[in-house]
């Protein structure tokens, strides 16, 4: 089955038509979707959505504080995150979406790094993987990952680093998320990586409703389009589609301990 390892299905963009979005994903062969939380005010919504999932498409929650929403985050939210992780440990598949974004205007490197480190510590204590958002900061994130030595690694969402940085992430137990960006012909470096990286390094994602695919730029992204991401990777690698779907699903299942993977075997 196809697995979308990064989809903000809880976002208000999908209000009023979320059921149709999930049904389209099911018809496209998507069996599981990971829904990352981005700030404390969204965590309850993420948990409620994933708790109401049907058997057709399994929805898995992750909770975290995204660097894009730094103005929303408060120190007490870290304590709340710890409590939420303790309460919902058996349901959560990761801590995320967390990370560093040094492409933002007027970013505060110190504040972002402190928040990231505290969330990495929570992930380490809970033995959960992490879903990383990284822009213009791969070396800084790698430095913290080496220092903290997470037991479960995680996923580098929308990977955009160098080949050497990719190798360093993989050494630390991470997979690399490939999504809509790889469908653009102008993304020559990323498409080269999609051809060259071992398939065991790769997981699929959409980041819906964001990061639209080529040909869909004027519409909200949807999880069913992870099938198009898979097809693009298949074309670039010149392998069988079923082989790519099976391997990327195995990668996600092993990393995130998804229960649907056990039931599908």
pLDDT in tens, 229-249: 999 999 999 999 999 999 999
Task: Note the pLDDT of residue 202.
Answer: 98
Task: Note the pLDDT of residue 255.
Answer: 98
Buried b (16+ CB within 10 A) or exposed e, 62-97: bbbbbbbebeebeeebbeebbebbeeeeeebbbbbb
Over residues 53-76, the mean pLDDT reads 92
- What's the pLDDT band for 53 if we cut at 50, 70, 90? low
pLDDT in tens, 192-214: 999 999 999 999 999 999 999 99
Determine phi and psi for 76, rounding to 5 degrees: -70, -20
CA distances from 10 to 57, 67, 91, 203, 253 (A): 15, 18, 16, 21, 22
Say whether pTM exceeds 0.95: yes
Helix%, strand%, coil% for the chain, nearest 5:
50, 15, 35
The separation between CA 42 and the C-alpha centre of its own chain, rounded to angstroms, equals 16
Yes or no: say if 113 and 131 are a contact pair by the CB < 8 Å rule.
Answer: no
Kind of pairing, strands 94-101 and 58-63? parallel
Burial class (CB in 10 A: 0-12, 13-18, 19+), 185: exposed
pLDDT in tens, 22-49: 999 999 999 999 999 999 999 999 999 9
Quickly count: other Cβ atoms within 10 Å of residue 56's Cβ: 12
Task: Note the pLDDT of residue 144.
Answer: 98
Instruction: Evaluate if residue 216 carries a pLDDT over 90.
Output: no
Task: Note the pLDDT of residue 55.
Answer: 67
Total count of domains within the chain: 1
Over residues 62-91, the mean pLDDT reads 97
Task: Note the pLDDT of residue 86.
Answer: 98
Task: Note the pLDDT of residue 265.
Answer: 47
Pairwise CA distance, residues 235 & 259, whole Å = 30
Task: Note the pLDDT of residue 134.
Answer: 98
Over residues 103-122, the mean pLDDT reads 97
Which residue segment(s) compose the domain that 94 sits in? 2-263
CATH number, residue 249: 3.20.20.140
Nearest to 263 by CA among 27, 31, 22: 31
């Amino acid at each position: 089955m196809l697995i979308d390892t990064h989809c903000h299905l809880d976002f208000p963009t999908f209000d009023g038509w979320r059921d149709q979005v999930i049904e389209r994903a099911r018809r496209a062969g998507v069996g599981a979707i990971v829904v990352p939380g981005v700030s404390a005010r969204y965590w309850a919504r993420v948990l409620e959505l994933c708790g109401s999932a049907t058997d057709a498409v399994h929805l898995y929650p992750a909770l975290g504080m995204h660097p894009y929403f730094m103005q929303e985050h408060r120190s007490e939210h870290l304590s709340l995150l710890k409590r939420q992780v303790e309460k919902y440990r058996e349901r959560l598949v990761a801590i995320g979406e967390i990370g560093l974004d040094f492409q933002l205007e007027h970013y505060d490197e110190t504040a972002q790094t402190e928040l990231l480190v505290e969330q990495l510590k929570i992930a380490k204590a809970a033995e959960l993987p992490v879903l990383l958002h990284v822009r213009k900061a791969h070396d800084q994130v790698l430095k913290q990952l080496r220092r903290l030595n997470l037991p479960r690694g995680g996923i580098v969402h929308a990977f955009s680093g160098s080949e050497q940085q990719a190798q360093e992430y993989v050494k630390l137990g991470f997979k690399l998320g490939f999504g809509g960006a790889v469908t653009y012909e102008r993304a020559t470096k990323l498409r080269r990586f999609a051809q060259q990286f071992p398939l065991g390094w790769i997981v699929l994602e959409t980041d819906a409703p964001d990061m639209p695919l080529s040909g869909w730029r004027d519409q909200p992204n949807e999880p069913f389009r992870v099938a198009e991401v898979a097809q693009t990777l298949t074309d670039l690698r010149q392998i069988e589609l079923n082989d790519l779907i099976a391997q990327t699903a195995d990668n996600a299942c092993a990393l995130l301990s998804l229960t649907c993977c056990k039931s599908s075997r």
